[in-house]
Structure 1
Amino acid sequence: MTIESALTPTIDDRFENMIIAPERVLEMLGRQPTGAVRYEHSEQGDARRELLHVEKIAIENRRLQEKTEATYMGMISHQFHDILLSEMTECLGHTSELFASILNIPDNIGELFDALAVRACSVSKLEPIVATMPWLYEDLITLVNTPRFRRKDARGRIIVVDSLRTALSFLGIENLRLLIPNVVLKRAIPQVTDPYPQIKQRLNAYATGVSLTARHIAQENGLNKYEAYTLGLLSNLGRCAVIRLYFKLFDKIQIQLLKDCQKNKEQKRHEALVKLVPSANHIIALEQEFADSVSADVLDKMQLQRLQIAQPMRTCATNAPAQESTLSKVLHQSRAYTQIRMLHQLNFVELPEVKPLFREQKFPSGSLENLKHTDIFTLPLTKN
């Protein structure tokens, strides 16, 4: 292996950093953001070089000071994240609390997914379950009244839908099988993630891409497309839980430690804690450590009877070998394909890097060519 190839970030590393902040991938690849001006090539750089001989000593002193401060900040960050890891591990062990307080998922969501899974699914069977979830009811009412789905009466007047039964009927069962799991996932996606505001958009795109890719591959393998689609979406609940919990615990621990510093008059530590911001590296590490096992725990908690996706998720979480033409294998393939598509959109991956990964995943014959012409980031809803 050459030094250059050894230093090239893996596709997985690029993807995980892209979810947090795409500019991190640019740095990893040694590129600059579009429109950026290299300092040493600018007029300011020329002027600065003329002053270097005057400021050399001052710059060196400042560098040493910054190095000392960075070392201290690193120590504070390490101590801080040790506390955070301990608390997160404790929280992730309580799946029932994750359901209610972190992911905002109602206890009877499994009943709803099971109802959607049966061939004989009907509006009359869905209505009483959806009625127990006001947030879902409101989202469906809002959607059915958009231009895409609204209807007109015999006189050409727009029909305003305000009842749940009518909304479900107008949308149709096939659309609801796509919509409802998507709405549940969106409800779980973290919303406030400063200083990484793009997480929610990237995570939503990834979840949608994985689910629609899984649906497509499942059809080609003769597997249940609704199970594959729903597994693709809900496999991201672990990511959502870890990221939500990280930011919640970060704020809580920072506030508590700042209070302790004030009480103990630790000014230097207080100043360092004020400067501390959420760490992308720690978020990524925590996701890689916990996300899939949390997803498996959450699916187990749903106690699904008809929708057979809990075991495939557990297989992925334990890194057990996935057999060909199984939902576990479809999930692996869908994740790999969606990651490549998202990286390719931002020119973060080259074709020679992609081919070995695709060969390793052993996609069904012709599926890659078909997927190339498929929009995997937009739900294929139809007017009923």
Structure 2
Amino acid sequence: MLSEKIALTRLGVYADRKQLGTARELLHIEEKALERKVKQQATETEFKEYVNEYFHEALFEYLDVYSNDKNYLFSQILTIDPNIPDVLDACVKRATTATQLDTLISKVTFLTRDILKMVNNPPFRAENSNKAHVDKIGLAVRYIGVDNVRFALLSYIGKNWLPHSTEPYNDFKEKFWQYSIATANCARTLAKYYKIDESVAFLLGLLHGIGMSMSLRLYLRAFDTVRVIQMKALTKANRKDIVKLVDTLTLDNSFVSEALRRFTPTVSHHVIERLGLKFAPILPTMEELRENVPFKQSSPMTRLLKQSQTFVQYKMLQKSRLIELDDAKVFLTQANINNDIITILNKVDLLKIDIRPQE
């Protein structure tokens, strides 16, 4: 998710190679000086690694607190429009009418903009059409159709919650959206086999990983905050040698990955709990993900999600050439994905937002 280059580096593909410094033979005195320099550099590197681990212990303690601070999460990391839960419920409620959607969408600026943009562009409007543009939400919903518009609304909400910036991990935003919409599409496809409502399955697939983007933002914000706190404490303790090292620390990809792995399930659960959805029973699945319940002990809804996300992860790894065939078989088997399921999901257009009702 952070970047393909980081993944390849961790696999050793981009490992640094030592190069010869000179072609001539070194004099004995030069050899001794070089040996001392290498030892000194090794000692300094080991000490910096120790300081980095010490710093990240403090950083993760900070993240432990703020990943469970709901006031902070929903005021500083993700602001949820108070009308959004009602829109989400309306999208999964079978008896929702065009009038109800008109009222709800009109309260949310970005949804109003996106729905009108959709209805006024192909395939709903010919490129050279002379017809007047639709400027009323109610008319737009009726023209598109209630069943058609549900999935568009859900995807617009998911996309609106993407972080504005995750610098220096500039690939994350696009990869995370691809992962989210692909998982949603797979969950929607598998829904009928699990006898689960397809809009509920789509919503679960779309939002189950929201904590990943939030955890990354948490980490990036916390890094400098905790560094300043640590530098002040070390200065007070008269450890200027460590203060200088802490000041030179940069983002560590391994620790960032660990933060995403550790905090995503908890933060995602907080989001779904915060929404308080009435017609989308997905909170129990978020609890099972948080508690890391094994596949065989999971509920049908959780199994559907695990198969969807595992298949999408496999396809992303395969595309980046980060998984071998033997590893892929083991990976897919963990989610009980057999050839029949692979055949079904291989037909899914992972990144297309299909707003047509499926049979």
Taking structure 1 as the reference length, what is the TM-score of the superposition?
0.80
1:26 paired residue number = 8
CA deviation string 1:104-135 (max 9, x = no partner): 22233221111111222233212322233223
1:193 paired residue number = 166
Aligned with residue 278 of structure 1, among 235, 251, 266:
251
Give % identity: 23
Shift of 1:57: 5.1
1:1-384 map, 5 Å: 19-32=1-14, 48-51=21-24, 53=26, 56=31, 59-151=34-126, 156-157=129-130, 159-257=132-230, 268-322=241-295, 326-363=300-337, 366-381=340-355
CA deviation string 1:325-353 (max 9, x = no partner): 71110111111111110000011112222
**3-state SS of 1:291 partner:** helix
Equivalents in 2 of 1:133, 1:117: separation in Å?
A: 18
Contact 2:314 2:332 in 1 (8 A): no
Contact 1:211 1:232 in 2 (8 A): yes
Question: For residue 180 of structure 1, what is the amino acid of its counterpart?
Answer: L
**3-state SS of 1:53 partner:** coil
CA deviation string 1:281-330 (max 9, x = no partner): 22222222221122222212211111111112212221234557711101
CA deviation string 1:28-53 (max 9, x = no partner): 433349xxxx968xxxx68x451573
CA separation of 1:357 and 1:223: change in aligned 2, threshold 3 A: same
Equivalents in 2 of 1:112, 1:372: separation in Å?
A: 31
CA deviation string 1:145-176 (max 9, x = no partner): 444544479xx316434443344445443443
CA separation of 1:62 and 1:309: change in aligned 2, threshold 3 A: same
Equivalents in 1 of 2:349, 2:138: separation in Å?
A: 30
Contact 2:184 2:203 in 1 (8 A): yes
Contact 2:150 2:355 in 1 (8 A): no
Which runs of 4 or more aligned residues in structure 1 lie more than 6 Å from their structure 2 counterparts after TM superposition? 259-266
Aligned alpha-carbon RMSD (Å): 3.2
Equivalents in 2 of 1:209, 1:50: separation in Å?
A: 54
CA separation of 1:69 and 1:39: change in aligned 2, threshold 3 A: closer
Question: For residue 79 of structure 2, what is the amino acid of its counterpart?
Answer: N
Contact 1:213 1:376 in 2 (8 A): yes
CA separation of 1:261 and 1:329: change in aligned 2, threshold 3 A: same
Contact 1:220 1:364 in 2 (8 A): no
Contact 2:119 2:125 in 1 (8 A): yes
Contact 1:218 1:225 in 2 (8 A): yes
CA separation of 1:191 and 1:266: change in aligned 2, threshold 3 A: farther
Contact 1:152 1:159 in 2 (8 A): no
Contact 1:212 1:229 in 2 (8 A): yes
Which consecutive residues of structure 2, in runs of 5 or more, have no partner in the other structure? none
Greater CA deviation, 169-178 or 240-249?
Answer: 169-178
**3-state SS of 2:26 partner:** helix
CA deviation string 1:249-283 (max 9, x = no partner): 11333345556778998654443233222222222
Equivalents in 2 of 1:90, 1:317: separation in Å?
A: 16
CA separation of 1:28 and 1:286: change in aligned 2, threshold 3 A: closer
CA separation of 1:181 and 1:254: change in aligned 2, threshold 3 A: farther
Equivalents in 2 of 1:111, 1:327: separation in Å?
A: 22
Contact 1:221 1:325 in 2 (8 A): no
Question: For residue 271 of structure 1, what is the amino acid of its counterpart?
Answer: K
Contact 1:99 1:106 in 2 (8 A): no
Equivalents in 1 of 2:236, 2:133: separation in Å?
A: 59
Equivalents in 2 of 1:140, 1:259: separation in Å?
A: 50
